[in-house]
Amino acid sequence: MRRSPGGALVAALVVAATAVAVVSGPHPATAAAAEPYTWKNVRIDGGGFVPGIVFNPGEKDLVYARTDIGGAYRWNQSAQSWTPLLDWVGQDDWGHNGVLSIAPDPVATNRVYAAVGMYTNSWDPNNGAILRSTDRGNTWQRTALPFKVGGNMPGRGMGERLAVDPRNNRNVYFAAEGGNGLWRSTDYGASWAKVGNFPNAGNYVQDPNDANGYLNQNQGLTWVTFDPASPAVYVGVADKENPVYRSLDSGATWERIPGQPTGYLAHKGVVQGKYLFIATSDTGGPYDGTAGQVARLDTTTGTWTDISPTPVADRYYGYSGLTVDAQKPGTLMVATQISWFPDAIFFRSTDYGATWTRIWDWNGYPSRTKRYTMDISANPWLDFNGNPTPPEEAPKLGWMNESLAIDPFDSDRLLYGTGATVYGTTQLTNWDRNTTFTIRPFAKGLEETAVQDLASPPTGAPLVSALYDVGGFHHADLDTVPASFHDSPNLGSNTGLDFAELNPQFFVRVGNNAAAPHIGVSNDGGKNWYQGQEPSGVTGGGTVAVGADATAVVWSPAGTGVHYSTTRGSSWTASAGLPAGAKVESDRVDPKTFYAYAAGRFYTSTDGGASFTASAAAMPAEGRVNLKAVPGAAGEVWLAGETGLLRSTDSGRTFTAVGGVTEGINVAFGKAAPGATRPAVFLVGTAGGVTGVFRSDDTGASWVRINDGQHQYGNAGDALAGDPRIWGRVYLGTNGRGILYADRAGGPVSPSPSVSVSPSVSVSPSASASPSASVSPSMTMPTIACTATYRVTGDWGGGFQGEVTVRNIGTVSTKAWKVTWAFTAGQTVTQSWGGTATQAGTAVTVVNAGYNGTLSSGASTTFGFLGGTTGTTNPVPFPITCSATP
């Protein structure tokens, strides 16, 4: 996941914040046409931390989930899946995909609120905001806050920090971090003011000396909860000596609750009947916590009682997730914060915490007895490819279990968040009958992976991914959860991958393991892997590029300089002329050519990565830069950066700016449109003054926007791939919303609007049947014919690249085609794509690939090849013949 000012606010800020406009509709594209697209997630299900799950106590089956970098979701009971609610967040305010808290209104249940912002340090350039919705999150209005919000900061699992007053639902409270205190809205979240008389803004800082600015923030206030039967309001504070405050007069005055337990931070606070329950830990989490307690306040007597499930001497964890059963007074549950070994522990009480039972118990170390079984068949990768030694098991019950929630309408339903998914059961009361219950994933539709790289090869699986946290997957079916993530070797967070364009079975991927291995190699299209060797000094994955025919690999890892391999990763040699940390890319045709970008300069290698030479071309000096070479076009490479989109056709010696594009984030190439000979170009960036995702079918001369205001995905685009087999399909990687794939709304196989049917296909008026049912002699009969056009697209000493365009000029569709010619100057075909080439002597025969044999009338396709030459000439052969099968 991306980890990419405290102090009290001055009096001038104790005023209502200014409301901003609704951000729920598409931005109009003024200079680029728009084309409707259908956007869907490549299914992984989960893959990141879910710190909050909140049932609306006012309406059955209305459930919300929040994530730290991937937005918010609403549960769809009929589909048993989650619906994303913040996909409209754009590049300019990407941090608003970090959701620190979410609060449904228990009175007007269509209302829901969210506190958004990702970081309270400089990583997020924007302040936070409070979002409000009157239609369950389908559309939102946004009120800016005068400070930052940290949905992905330490302590983000505590809460909920937002809460709606059930006695007067106009009143909404927000417990802020960073020393910003308690805030309140009295108009359904439209405007906010600081509660000036709240006495404590918190003081807990995880690491005051953290040089990265991530661990040194004041974690502030931690939760707000109400007693629905009285005017009492309770607030948690990140202050170990003063963890809980209350107001007994609906927020008019505040006091520290007398007699409260001290020494820990209150992660959760829940009211049931006359009791306030709190769960505490010695840190803010979510990754740590070694001590804590569970306590109960009798609000009628003021008496505090330590009801911790385990004596202090036996604990190695604090407590976090806390929930009560609204249908069964006295029933509550709490989760450990955090019990890594051997697993998380959940505790359950049915007598207000007087006694507890555990979800699992020791039965003679290392054996355990369990009240539950795990069924991960819906998301089988959740075993993390593991086979641990007992007492550990795979899959684990969970970790980072900050959110634990019993359905207020159904005592049998429990949902809880982990560091990787949402788990739950619909048989929870079996616990009380000593009968086993089943826990399974409830994560369909909730996609939270942080995507680092994507590859869509011309054969094999349509997509292979590199992801943080869960490594990445071989996606054989985009709509099916893969059985396992990349393994053997497991590289931890994967940072990059590439394949050989002309030998797409060969893949290399790299990752950020704490220690070796940092590299894996595949010979079957990214499905199975073996460990490669690595240069000394490697500390992280960096980027990697595979030569077009797999004879060379260039790797730019963290910790050492750029290296190249001619042995498929079994040995490495330092590259010359290229700075450490450069971003590397391979030419997709010429096996010896590689490209790189570093610190405002472009570099080219023509010797397989052994040495690089800097180009004199002007490059963007900073910001996000991504470069991609064009399949089938030797020497053509494009670069997207903050200055726009640049194109080179001479291996990076010179570049031309692509008109109309004022900022580029990433660029990729996919299958050409029907009738076109050049691949489709996909852009994440700004074209014609509009920021979005675009496609061009004419090499950037014109663009169509293919996303809209409802599909912006915030922090997206550092991973992008076009599909070489399906025209119009693009794969978009996000930092927190997983992988999206998009197809033209008419379907992935729809013909291009620019391809017209041959006039001879239509039946002339005289072709109508005569009274005798005989066919008129003037009817045009079906014809079967195709043409092939040969051209040389690249030439170098001893070799060349060719391309042949096959066009159906008949009146009916083809099922297959064949092209033949004879060389006249000793040329030989050495590689082919888009068709299978064979050569006998001078005679060459090429038959269609499996995906492009079918051509409707007027449609065309291309195949390409690499050739060798023995002389000084390379004449175009003649004739080129084409035959087709209907």
Q: How far apart are CA 845 and CA 849, in angstroms?
A: 13
- b/e burial code for range 368-384 (CB count within 10 A of at least 16 → b): bebbbebebeebebbbb
pLDDT of residue 131: 98
> Over 641-693, what HEC string results?
ECCEEEEECCCCCCCEECCCEEEEEEEEEECCCCCCCCCEEEEEEEECCEEEE
pLDDT tens string 410-451: 999 999 999 999 999 999 999 999 999 999 999 999 999 999
Closest CA to 713 of 748, 741, 678, 752: 741
**For the chain, first and last CA: distance in Å?**
52
The most confident of the ranges 26-30, 215-219, 750-754 is: 215-219
| Residue given tokens 């663009």 in the structure block | 703
Q: Are 649 and 637 in contact (CB under 8 A)?
A: no
pLDDT tens string 384-411: 999 999 999 999 999 999 999 999 999 9
Average pLDDT over residues 880-884: 90
Q: How far apart are CA 440 and CA 382, in angstroms?
A: 10
| Residue given tokens 């007027």 in the structure block | 858
pLDDT of residue 873: 83
Question: Got the DSSP string for 297-364?
Answer: EETTTTEEEE--SS-GGG-S-EEEEEEE-TTSTT-EEEEEE---SS---EEEESSTTSS-EESEEESS
Average pLDDT over the chain reads 91
C-alpha to C-alpha distances, 835 to 461, 788, 829, nearest whole angstrom:
18, 13, 12
pLDDT over 50 at 754, yes or no: no
Give the global pTM: 0.82
pLDDT tens string 281-305: 999 999 999 999 999 999 999 999 9
pLDDT over 80 at 3, yes or no: no
Closest CA to 660 of 634, 686, 630, 639: 686
Catalytic site includes residue 469: yes
pLDDT over 90 at 257, yes or no: yes
| Residue given tokens 């003021």 in the structure block | 302
Q: Are 687 and 696 in contact (CB under 8 A)?
A: no
| Residue given tokens 């769809």 in the structure block | 76
Average pLDDT over residues 453-479: 98
Closest CA to 813 of 751, 772, 855: 855
Q: Are 154 and 284 in contact (CB under 8 A)?
A: yes
**Residues in CB range of 414: below 8 A, 6 or more apart:** 323, 333, 404, 405, 406, 407, 424, 425, 428
Q: What one-letter code names the amino acid at 551?
A: T
pLDDT tens string 357-383: 999 999 999 999 999 999 999 999 999
- Binned at pLDDT 50, 70 and 90, residue 748 comes out as low
Q: Are 835 and 820 in contact (CB under 8 A)?
A: no
pLDDT over 70 at 517, yes or no: yes
- Binned at pLDDT 50, 70 and 90, residue 756 comes out as very low
C-alpha to C-alpha distances, 79 to 82, 83, 86, 415, 445, nearest whole angstrom:
8, 10, 19, 16, 10
Catalytic choice (343, 469, 498, 743): 469
Return the DSSP state at 205: B
Q: Are 121 and 217 in contact (CB under 8 A)?
A: yes
Give the distance between the most distant pair of CA atoms in the chain.
Answer: 104
Among the listed ranges 475-489, 656-670, 830-844, which one has the minimum average pLDDT value?
830-844
pLDDT over 80 at 610, yes or no: yes
Closest CA to 54 of 311, 492, 408, 375: 408
pLDDT of residue 327: 98
pLDDT of residue 852: 87
Q: Are 439 and 430 in contact (CB under 8 A)?
A: no
pLDDT tens string 326-365: 999 999 999 999 999 999 999 999 999 999 999 999 999 9
Element containing residue 511 per DSSP (H, E): strand 503-511
pLDDT of residue 885: 87
pLDDT of residue 769: 31
Q: How far apart are CA 173 and CA 183, in angstroms?
A: 6
pLDDT tens string 814-847: 889 899 989 888 899 998 888 999 999 999 999 9
pLDDT of residue 794: 74
- For the chain, give the number of residues: 886
Query: Bigger pLDDT: 880 or 587?
Result: 587
Average pLDDT over residues 307-315: 90
Per the structure block, which two tokens stand in for 542?
């960096």
Per the structure block, which two tokens stand in for 471?
């490594």
Neighbouring-strand partners of residue 511: 494
Does the CA dihedral 766-767-773-775 come out positive or negative?
A: positive
Q: Are 644 and 623 in contact (CB under 8 A)?
A: no
Q: How far apart are CA 251 and CA 229, in angstroms?
A: 15
Q: How far apart are CA 96 and CA 116, in angstroms?
A: 5
Asked if the bond preceding 489 is cis, omega within 30° of 0, the reply is yes
> How many percent of the chain have pLDDT more than 70?
92
Closest CA to 73 of 107, 24, 114: 114
Q: What one-letter code names the amino acid at 408?
A: P
pLDDT over 50 at 15, yes or no: no
Q: What share of the chain is helix, strand, coil (3-state, %, to 5)?
A: 5, 40, 60
Q: Are 136 and 105 in contact (CB under 8 A)?
A: no
pLDDT over 50 at 47, yes or no: yes
Closest CA to 246 of 225, 220, 266, 263: 225
- Binned at pLDDT 50, 70 and 90, residue 782 comes out as low
Q: Are 847 and 836 in contact (CB under 8 A)?
A: yes
Q: How far apart are CA 38 and CA 707, in angstroms?
A: 9
Q: Are 748 and 848 in contact (CB under 8 A)?
A: no
Element containing residue 499 per DSSP (H, E): strand 494-500
Catalytic choice (45, 68, 93, 124): 68
pLDDT of residue 20: 29
pLDDT of residue 24: 34
**Residues in CB range of 848: below 8 A, 6 or more apart:** 806, 816, 817, 818, 835, 836, 861, 863
Closest CA to 417 of 404, 407, 435: 404
Planar angle of CA 661, 666, 671, nearest 5 degrees: 95
Q: How far apart are CA 3 and CA 153, in angstroms?
A: 8
pLDDT over 80 at 760, yes or no: no
Q: Are 224 and 235 in contact (CB under 8 A)?
A: yes
pLDDT over 80 at 767, yes or no: no
Neighbouring-strand partners of residue 683: 667, 694
Catalytic site includes residue 68: yes
C-alpha to C-alpha distances, 149 to 68, 96, 119, 209, 391, nearest whole angstrom:
11, 9, 6, 21, 40
Q: What one-letter code names the amino acid at 99?
A: V
Q: How far apart are CA 184 and CA 189, in angstroms?
A: 8
pLDDT of residue 81: 98
- Binned at pLDDT 50, 70 and 90, residue 783 comes out as low
Q: How far apart are CA 352 and CA 305, in angstroms?
A: 11
Q: Are 546 and 556 in contact (CB under 8 A)?
A: no
pLDDT of residue 752: 36
pLDDT over 90 at 703, yes or no: yes
pLDDT of residue 25: 32
CB neighbourhood size of 847 (10 A): 15
Query: Bigger pLDDT: 407 or 1?
Result: 407
Query: Bigger pLDDT: 32 or 480?
Result: 480
Closest CA to 459 of 753, 851, 14, 11: 851
pLDDT tens string 520-551: 999 999 999 999 999 999 999 999 999 999 99
Among the listed ranges 20-34, 586-600, 717-731, 799-813, which one has the minimum average pLDDT value?
20-34
| Residue given tokens 């009338």 in the structure block | 857
- Binned at pLDDT 50, 70 and 90, residue 860 comes out as confident
Q: What one-letter code names the amino acid at 50?
A: V
C-alpha to C-alpha distances, 705 to 671, 677, 690, 721, 768, nearest whole angstrom:
17, 21, 9, 16, 44
Average pLDDT over residues 194-211: 97
